[in-house]
């Protein structure tokens, strides 16, 4: 299946969760926030929220700004 | 010497520094870290952006700016609608640095002036959701009053356009805002050099927020230190109470017992 992660198509194995995706991106334990189809996913649900084909995911972090 | 018993109270917390600094436009994170340290700031603004998932070698800003040491103030920079700003604020809160947010809803890319109605709309939503909303706003006393009524724990009028370095362009509007406000007034944007920061504090503003004036200086670390001193000097001058301005001279030396 394919999900859209930060605007780019990303092939993912079936049954993958948000936690799996973050681990794959080496972001496990980092201070990030995640939206799944425009809904914020609480950290407590990362491991239980499955990603489905066509889902749009945003992974954001803090960067320099004024 | 620091003035005793003169804390800057923002959203229920006390700070020793009245300088809030941004983290944008630095050469690298190490320079960011050193500039913040030199500025003496305790509150630091950050932006929220997508993680670059194609280049995972990138370091993380918060490895250099420790949230345990600094109050992290996420902004909604780059948002042009209330909806985008609310979405960004919610994500920032979820990223786990607390409920403070610097609300920016931009109305125009050339001036980066705020969209006032959209800022009010976003502030209403976010205050209801429990955010401590610090709004970047035009130096418009009515807009500031409305934001205070909505429940913002401070108002942050601009002194001049973001990154312009034009300094305090309308001290009289700031004076009116200061007179009417029951919440702290923080000058946000427009400061170019140390004297601008001093003027803001001399007027009675509670704090000043800047980024480009430090990050864009030839020597950001030295400018950060200059800003720290200017903010302290401006605050002390405000507390000390300046002399009234007069058109004509008054001699400083005795006019009696002159040699004849």
Q: Nearest CA of chain B to the CA of A20: how many Å? A: 14
Of the partner residues A5, A59, A66, the one whose CB lies closest to the CB of residue B212: A66
- Give the span between the Cα atoms of A27 and A38, in whole angstroms: 20
The answer to whether residue A25 sits within a structural domain is yes
From the candidates B102, B110, B145, B218, give the one annotated as an active-site residue: B102
Q: DSSP string spanning B202-235? A: HHT-SEEEESHHHHTSSSHHHHHHHHHHHHHHHH
Kindly report the number of other CB atoms within 10 A of residue B149's CB atom: 10
Quick one: average pLDDT of A11-28? 93
Domain span including residue A52: 2-61
Chain B residues with beta carbon closer than 8 angstroms to that of A66? 22-25, 45, 47, 75, 77, 162-163, 189, 209-212
3-state secondary structure (DSSP) of residue B10? strand
The answer to whether residue A37 sits within a structural domain is yes
The answer to whether residue A9 sits within a structural domain is yes
Strand partners, A35: A40, A58
- Give the span between the Cα atoms of A48 and B63, in whole angstroms: 28
Chain B residues with beta carbon closer than 8 angstroms to that of A7? 50
The answer to whether residue A35 sits within a structural domain is yes
In the prediction, which pLDDT does B3 show? Answer: 59
Chain A residues with beta carbon closer than 8 angstroms to that of B53? 5-6, 8, 10, 25, 59
Check CB contact of A11 with chain B, cutoff 8 Å: no
Q: Which residue has the tokens 């009289």?
A: B172
In the prediction, which pLDDT does B165 show? Answer: 96
Is B102 known to be catalytic? yes
- Supply the CATH number for residue A7's domain: 3.10.20.30
A–B interface: beta-carbon pairs under 8 A: 105
The answer to whether residue A7 sits within a structural domain is yes
Kindly determine whether residue B48 and residue A33, on different chains, have CB atoms separated by under 8 Å: yes
The answer to whether residue A55 sits within a structural domain is yes
In the prediction, which pLDDT does B208 show? Answer: 98
Chain A residues with beta carbon closer than 8 angstroms to that of B26? 64
Query: How high is the mean pLDDT of chain A?
Result: 94
In the prediction, which pLDDT does A21 show? Answer: 95
**DSSP structural state of residue B244:** P
Kindly determine whether residue A62 and residue B72, on different chains, have CB atoms separated by under 8 Å: yes
Check CB contact of A4 with chain B, cutoff 8 Å: no
Averages of pLDDT over runs of 10 residues in chain B (260 residues) are: 80 97 96 98 97 80 94 98 98 94 97 98 98 98 98 98 96 97 97 98 98 98 98 98 96 92
In the prediction, which pLDDT does B202 show? Answer: 98
The answer to whether residue A66 sits within a structural domain is no
Q: DSSP string spanning B11-70? A: TTEEES--EEE---S-SSHHHHHHHHHHHT-SEEEEEEEE--SS-TT---GGGTS-TTTS
Kindly determine whether residue A59 and residue B53, on different chains, have CB atoms separated by under 8 Å: yes
For chain A, the domain total comes to 1
- Show which residues on chain B lie within 8 Å of chain A, measured between beta carbons: 22-26, 29, 32, 45-51, 53-54, 56, 60-62, 67, 72, 74-75, 77, 87, 90-92, 94-97, 162-163, 189, 209-212
Quick one: average pLDDT of A43-54? 95
Kindly determine whether residue A33 and residue B92, on different chains, have CB atoms separated by under 8 Å: yes
The answer to whether residue A49 sits within a structural domain is yes
3-state secondary structure (DSSP) of residue B5? coil
- Give the span between the Cα atoms of B167 and B217, in whole angstroms: 15
pLDDT band for A29, please (50, 70, 90 cuts).
confident
Segment (H or E) for A57: strand A56-64
């Amino acid at each position: 299946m394919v999900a859209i992660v930060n605007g780019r198509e990303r092939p993912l194995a079936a049954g993958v969760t948000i936690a799996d995706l973050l681990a794959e991106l080496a972001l496990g334990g980092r201070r990030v926030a995640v939206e799944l189809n425009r809904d914020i996913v609480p950290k407590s649900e990362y491991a239980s929220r499955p990603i489905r084909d066509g889902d749009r995911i945003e992974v954001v972090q803090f960067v320099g700004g004024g | 010497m620091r003035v005793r018993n003169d804390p800057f109270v923002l959203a229920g917390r006390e700070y020793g520094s009245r300088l809030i600094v941004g983290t944008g436009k630095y050469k690298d994170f190490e320079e960011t870290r050193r500039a913040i340290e030199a500025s003496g700031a305790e509150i630091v603004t950050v932006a929220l952006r997508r993680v670059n998932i194609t280049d995972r070698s990138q370091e993380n800003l918060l490895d250099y700016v420790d949230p345990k040491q600094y109050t992290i103030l996420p902004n909604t920079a780059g948002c042009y609608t209330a909806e985008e700003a609310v979405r960004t604020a919610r994500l920032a809160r979820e990223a786990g640095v607390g409920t403070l947010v610097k609300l920016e809803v931009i109305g125009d890319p050339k001036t980066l002036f705020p969209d006032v109605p959209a800022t009010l709309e976003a502030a209403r939503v976010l205050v209801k959701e429990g955010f401590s909303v610090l709004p970047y706003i035009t130096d418009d006393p009515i807009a500031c009053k409305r934001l205070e009524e909505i429940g913002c724990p401070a108002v942050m009028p601009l002194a001049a356009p973001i990154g312009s370095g034009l300094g305090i362009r309308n001290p009289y509007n700031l004076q009116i805002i200061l007179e009417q406000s029951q919440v702290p007034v923080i000058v946000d944007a427009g400061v170019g050099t140390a004297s601008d920061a001093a003027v803001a504090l001399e007027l009675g503003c509670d704090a000043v927020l800047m980024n480009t004036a430090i990050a864009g200086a030839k020597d950001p670390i030295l400018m950060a230190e200059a800003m720290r001193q200017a903010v302290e000097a401006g605050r002390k001058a405000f507390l000390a109470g300046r002399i009234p301005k007069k058109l004509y001279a008054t001699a400083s030396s005795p006019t009696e017992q002159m040699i004849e």
